[in-house]
Amino acid sequence: MWEEEYPLPGYQSNTERYATLQFITLGIGSTWFVGGDFAGGYAICASIAALSLFFYFFLGQEVVISTSQDQKRFRRWLLVPLLFMILWPVSQLSPTITEYAIGDRNYLTFIEPDGVGPVTSILGHHWQPSLYLSMMLIAAIGYTAFTVSHYAITRTLWVLLINATVLGAVGLLTSIMHWEKILSFITPAQANFFSTFPSAHQWSAFALFWTVVGFGLFFHLKRRQTWTSLLEKNGAWLIAGWLILAYSAYETGTPFHRFLLGISVGLILLRIGTALVRYMRTGFVAGLMGILLLLAGISAIGYNLFNFANEFSLAQSDPSRAPFGIPWGTQLALWRDTWQLFLERPFFGWGAGSFQDIFPFHQQVDLGNFEYTSPHSDILHVLFEYGIVGLCLLLTFPIVIAFKFAFLKQRRMVSHYLWGAVTLLVLLSLFCQPLSTPANLACLWFGIAAAYKWSEIEPVTPKSFSAKNNGATSETEKDKRKSRPRRSSQKSKRSVN
């Protein structure tokens, strides 16, 4: 049972079914097959995300979709990703780097661009990231437009949570048993190898997201069942999966990942403690347990704040420390030089995928033999490559969705946990690069869409559920009855008389 104490209705249309399968495919595919160093990962995920256009133009004539306001919503919001997509072909008119060969070596020459319009680094290159960002935004818009039942969101959450748990268990087993090449057919094994993700820090962000979502689902199920019933059905493996994900996030993350994990656990303990304290009048033991959990939550939050503040202060005097994943001195150098380059072209940036081409021409600090393909901040990366215009286009939809969510009549509990998981990814994207892997970006867009739709969809009430089972006529059936010939109704009258 998910939302009420009776079975949820199934898919309300084929379009909703296919939109659900689309995000399930994106979630599973991006974690198992393109979570690693796979060159065509962005293009494959972009093609799967683009199916939302197919759903709209070829399957959008279903009654459930065509009679709702969501069809207009999809058509209206489609303009935003299309404008973002236009930036890439326009930028091809102004390349800033020319490539030429002398003998068996290739050389790059930087050309100072004229004007403030969109530019590109190397002509014809780096189309995959721009296309992927546009298509994932279209997929998120399609999910909010085509999803009209809690059943569809439930199926997506359930399957993707199981996928994350299985992948976490495989990664944890390889880490314990030192089987570093168990998944080398998917991604090359590295020193910080964990599952199929190219970086342990990216996996930690992924595990953090599903840790919060998994606990939200567990707490939601617990509200409607007894402990015995919950453990007999889904609760046992859900607890085990939550522990696996939480431990893997702690083991593979940076001090900042551990800080966010500790704060999340502290808030969860506060949430449970508050719920138990409410039962103090009817059960003294429950109330006492609630007080203890409240104290534990406050202690966890306080300890993590103090511990991370200490780590951060030590990094100020010791550049070799890495509170966000790379040495603090290198982190500051990347941020400073990237920001200076952004100020040179603040409106449209330097073009999709241009950081690794443009940055070596301008960096002011010698970073040794390392080559950085990102400034180690996803937000700063977007500003560098797409400018303020591109960032605004990417943020318009989630900001409007969050604003509309704040004014919904009812905001359900699962939505709050989904928003919390999305907030973790956003915080990490300020100081790290979790969204550089397709899996985390798919989680971000799905979390935003599902959080809003879970509260926007009207719940199935006992009255409506019994009416549905008793064969109550739908709007479509009423329309069919109204369209029957008048002659048939006259015959029925004569027969009665």
Phi-psi region of 47 (alpha: psi -120 to 50; beta: other; left: phi over 0): alpha
Q: Who wins on pLDDT, 457 or 33?
A: 457
Task: Quote the CA–CA distance of 152 and 64 in Å, as a whole number.
Answer: 14
Using DSSP, state whether 107 is helix, strand or coil. Answer: strand
Report the candidate in 342, 450, 422, 424 with the shortest Cα–Cα distance to residue 386.
342
- Locate tokens 């951060």: which residue? 312
Confidence of residue 60 (pLDDT cuts 50, 70, 90): low
The answer to whether 130 and 87 have CB atoms below 8 angstroms apart is yes
- Locate tokens 């059960």: which residue? 283
Using DSSP, state whether 102 is helix, strand or coil. Answer: strand
Count of CB atoms within 10 A of residue 220's CB? 17
Q: In sequence order, what are the residues at sequence separation of 6 or more whose Cβ sits closer than 8 angstroms to the Cβ of residue 411?
A: 405, 455
Q: Phi, psi (5° rounding) for residue 98?
A: -110, 145
Q: Checking DSSP bridges between strand 120-122 and strand 95-102, what pairing results, if any? A: parallel
Task: Pick the range with the lowest mean pLDDT from 5-9, 163-167, 401-405, 436-440.
Answer: 5-9
pLDDT at 438 over 50: yes
Q: What is the pLDDT of residues 283-331, one digit of tens each?
A: 667 777 888 888 998 999 999 999 998 988 888 888 778 888 888 888 8
Report long-range pairs for 293-297 (Cβ below 8 Å, ≥24 apart). Answer: 293/269, 294/269, 294/270, 296/269, 297/265, 297/266, 297/267, 297/268, 297/269, 297/270, 297/271, 297/273
What is the token pair recorded at 141?
């818009």
| Residues pairing with 209 in the sheet | none
What pLDDT was estimated at residue 322? 85
Using DSSP, state whether 389 is helix, strand or coil. Answer: helix
What pLDDT was estimated at residue 305? 92
* The three-state (H, E, C) secondary structure of 59-86, written as one string: HCCCHHHHCCCHHHHHHHHCHHHHHHHH
Q: What is the mean pLDDT of the chain?
A: 79
Mean per-residue pLDDT, 206-224: 84
Mean per-residue pLDDT, 188-216: 77
